[in-house]
């Protein structure tokens, strides 16, 4: 959506296909980080975006075993917004779509399920999709695969990914939030279990972390035991955990971390999770996808407008984005392997690793994770024009 918006804004005719009728999926995270807010500022859309309901988080803490530790302090970031805006992803996407529609070059089609790519002489020249009105064929100078972790386009293009594994899956559910509840989004780590709670105003979006493939043992212990495990971690939920009435209220989200060995083929480029599925650790996936979009638009707007897009352009985007993605995934894998897999297999109450103790103790150190989380590595800046403003 972000790339479609940026290209349409720069005068490139774009068709965006979304297989669902709306963006109301609740499992893609809510965190709009300072790097993304900076992009919105550069687009002159920040104030309007922040007029939408959201919560600001400028400090992150975690409870590891018996210790509550401050982890990151974003209030010193060199950015317009020194906070994470907790905003459901569907609000963010609808916002971008509404602004995209200001440009006649922006064509968003919902319920258009991409099923195949069209190839001619080794080059991708278009795609096929199913829509309620029948089959759709689109020919294009360039097809972008931005269809997420289970990307059909990347598999149809025959691109090969490296899978880095993940020791965990996530059980995703909601519980009513009350104004008297603790206010910060927070993580709680105990022997064999982890709980992260995202404040969505009227309710808590909860992520309960289990060992990879471990849903059946959790179910076998029963819903009461599951509710009890949640209340052990967050006792203030005791009076409403009964809202989980059956396993239908609990969704299993499978976590994966992978990266394409090559992100493109002539006529085709993957970005976002389609190029590199991100772990939920740090809540950075949306923001990296947005950064990919900005980098891709910067490189592609001009050649797409003049019909001269080349393999060199696609290669340049992969080169530019590989380092930030690889660096971030490496950090996520370190946390997965050093902390999460140990916690999930341990019977003993966890103790914070040394690094976490140090950030807990020295305020200045909390600026480092804040910078990595908030701004990421090598933040991108909008360099594409606004044809409406230029007209």
Ligand X SMILES: Cc1cc2nc3c(=O)[nH]c(=O)nc-3n(C[C@H](O)[C@H](O)[C@H](O)COP(=O)(O)OP(=O)(O)OC[C@H]3O[C@@H](n4cnc5c(N)ncnc54)[C@H](O)[C@@H]3O)c2cc1C
User: Footprint of ligand X on this chain (CB under 6 A)?
Assistant: 17-20, 27-31, 113-114, 146-148, 152, 170, 253, 255, 272-274, 278, 280, 283-287, 289
In the complex with ligand X, which residue's Cβ is closer, 252 or 355? Answer: 252
Q: How far is CA 330 from CA 163, 294, 326, 337, 358, in A?
A: 13, 22, 6, 10, 21
CB of 257 to ligand X, least distance (A): 10
Closest CA to 230 of 88, 221, 86, 335: 221
In the complex with ligand X, which residue's Cβ is closer, 209 or 343? Answer: 209
In the complex with ligand X, which residue's Cβ is closer, 94 or 337? Answer: 94
CB of 271 to ligand X, least distance (A): 7
In the complex with ligand X, which residue's Cβ is closer, 42 or 258? Answer: 258
**Dihedral sign computed on CA atoms, order 76, 81, 86, 92:** negative
CB of 125 to ligand X, least distance (A): 18
As a whole number of angstroms, the distance between CA 380 and CA 383 comes to 9
CB of 170 to ligand X, least distance (A): 4
In the complex with ligand X, which residue's Cβ is closer, 152 or 309? Answer: 152
CB of 361 to ligand X, least distance (A): 27
The full DSSP string for 184-252 is: S-EEEEETTEEEEEEE-SSEEEEEEEEETT-HHHHHHH-HHHHHHHHHHH-GGGTTTGGG--SGGGSEE
Contacts by residues 225-230 (CB-CB < 8 Å, ≥ 24 positions apart): 226/171, 226/250, 229/193, 230/175, 230/195, 230/206
CB of 281 to ligand X, least distance (A): 9
CB of 375 to ligand X, least distance (A): 14
Q: How far is CA 152 from CA 36, 180, 254, 276, 288, in A?
A: 26, 44, 17, 14, 20
In the complex with ligand X, which residue's Cβ is closer, 49 or 274? Answer: 274
Closest CA to 108 of 28, 19, 11: 19
In the complex with ligand X, which residue's Cβ is closer, 330 or 361? Answer: 330
């Amino acid at each position: 959506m972000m790339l479609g918006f940026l290209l349409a804004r720069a005068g490139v005719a774009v068709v965006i296909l979304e297989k669902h009728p709306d963006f109301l999926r609740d499992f893609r995270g809510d965190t709009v980080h300072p790097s993304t807010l900076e992009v919105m500022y550069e687009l002159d859309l920040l104030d309007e975006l922040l007029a939408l309901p959201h919560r600001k988080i400028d400090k992150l803490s975690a409870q590891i075993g018996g210790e509550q530790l401050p982890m990151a302090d974003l209030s010193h970031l060199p950015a317009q917004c020194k906070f994470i805006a907790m905003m459901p992803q569907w609000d963010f996407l609808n916002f971008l779509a509404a602004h995209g529609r200001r440009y006649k070059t922006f064509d968003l089609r919902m319920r258009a399920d991409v099923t195949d790519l069209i190839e001619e002489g080794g080059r991708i020249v278009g795609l096929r999709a199913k829509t309620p009105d029948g089959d759709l064929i689109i020919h294009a100078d360039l097809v972008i695969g931005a269809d997420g972790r289970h990307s059909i386009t990347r598999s149809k293009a025959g691109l090969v990914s490296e899978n880095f594994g993940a020791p965990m899956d996530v059980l995703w559910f909601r519980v009513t939030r009350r104004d008297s509840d603790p206010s910060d989004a927070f993580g709680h780590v105990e022997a064999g279990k982890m709980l992260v709670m995202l404040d969505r105003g009227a309710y808590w979006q909860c992520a309960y972390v289990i060992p990879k493939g471990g849903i059946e043992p959790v179910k076998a212990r029963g819903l009461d035991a599951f509710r009890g495990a949640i209340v052990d971690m967050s006792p203030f939920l005791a009076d409403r955990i009964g809202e989980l009435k059956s396993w239908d209220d609990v969704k299993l989200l499978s976590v994966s971390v992978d990266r394409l060995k090559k992100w493109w083929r002539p006529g085709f480029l993957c970005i976002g999770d389609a190029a590199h599925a991100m772990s939920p650790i740090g809540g950075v996936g949306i923001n990296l996808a947005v950064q990919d979009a900005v980098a891709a638009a910067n490189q592609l707007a001009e050649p797409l407008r003049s019909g001269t897009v080349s393999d060199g352009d696609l290669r340049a985007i992969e080169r530019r984005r590989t380092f930030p993605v690889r660096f971030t995934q490496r950090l996520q894998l370190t946390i997965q392997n050093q902390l999460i897999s140990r916690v999930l297999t341990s019977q003993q109450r966890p103790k914070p690793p040394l690094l976490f103790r140090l950030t807990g103790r020295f305020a200045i150190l909390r600026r480092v994770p804040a910078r990595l989380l908030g701004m990421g590595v090598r933040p991108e800046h909008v360099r594409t024009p606004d044809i409406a403003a230029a007209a």
